[in-house]
Amino acid sequence: MSKKRIKRFAPIVPGIFTMGNMFSGFVSILHSTAGETISGAWLIILGAVFDLLDGKIARMTRTTSEIGVQLDSFSDFLTFGVAPSVLLFSINVYSFKNWSFLVPLLYLIAGAFRLARYNVSADPHSKTDFQGLPIPLAAVFIASFVMFSTDIWGKIRFTNLLTPAVVLLSWLMVSNVKYSATFPFPSGKNIVIKVVIFIIMVGAVLIKPGWFLFPFVTLYILRGFIQETFWVTRKMNEEERQNEVCD
């Protein structure tokens, strides 16, 4: 195939993965509303895989376009915003009777804001640290929780902890907490350790995704939150010491 043909068809490849993401989100909603919550959770995970490949291929081929960015955002909102909210309703934790439906609604609004902020501020050709928790990670947290709880106990348990978790996810998405865009392990001279840990984690997730995906995603989310808390606390202490010196 000639280089001209490759350049002509290169922009189509990321679009295929974007449509795969959108398809996964739509079918996830259908499964969740039909009571097939595990299938709905798995389809959200599949959408996250499509979204990851979509972004990587678009940056590698330098085929990012304005239409592609908007389509990707719409797909993300469906798969990582609407589908997880529907999944939360489907596991019978939230309802309209006691106004608890406001919790998934809060997640949906925060996710929409997160995507809109990313669209107007991020460079689609580069991969820098994220401002706020990326919505795919928030969605994977919810989906993997359903999978983890069902695999371990055979049913959804500890639902009393789900509301604080969803509220925290919503806040992290709209916050300025920084999350690394690269694998969060030491680099440089510790590259061998990084690769070994990465292989172990990927292997564990592939062998038992229901057991290991949720703990790994939770650790990554908490890592960013704890780092930001530590940084803010240290900054406040430094400002206090400076004020004492000035006084």
Contact 27, 75 (CB under 8 A): no
Picking from 56, 45, 177, the residue whose alpha carbon sits closest to that of residue 127 is 56
171-209: pLDDT as tens digits: 999 998 888 776 555 455 566 676 677 677 777 777 888
Query: Measured between alpha carbons, how far apart are the two ends of the chain, in Å?
Result: 74
Closest CA to 41 of 99, 4, 87, 77: 87
User: Environment class of residue 6 by beta-carbon count within 10 Å: exposed (0-12), middle (13-18) or buried (19+)?
Assistant: exposed
CA 142, distance to chain mean position in Å, is 9
Q: Which token pair is 79?
A: 């798969």
Q: How far apart are CA 214 and CA 217, in angstroms?
A: 5
pLDDT averaged over the chain? 82
More confident site: 156 or 188: 156
Q: What is the pTM of this model?
A: 0.83
- Tell me 94's DSSP state: -
- Alpha-carbon distance of 49 to 114, in angstroms, equals 19
CA distance 53 to 19: 12
What does the alpha-carbon distance between residue 165 and residue 104 come to, in Å, rounded to a whole number?
11
Given a cut of 90, whether residue 10 has pLDDT beyond it is: no
- Residue 156 CA to residue 148 CA, distance in Å, equals 9
Q: What are the domain boundaries of the chain?
A: 3-181
For residue 63, the 8-state DSSP code is -
CATH classification of 3-181 is 1.10.10.10, yes or no? no
Sign for the pseudo-dihedral over CA of 9, 15, 19, 21: positive
Which residues fall within 8 angstroms of residue 90, CB to CB, at 6 or more apart?
32, 33, 35, 37, 40
Q: How confident is the model at residue 95 (pLDDT cuts 50, 70, 90)?
A: confident
**Mean pLDDT lowest among 9-18, 33-42, 61-70, 184-193:** 184-193
Residue 6 has pLDDT above 50, yes or no: no
The helix-helix angle for 102-121 and 135-153 (nearest 10°) equals 140
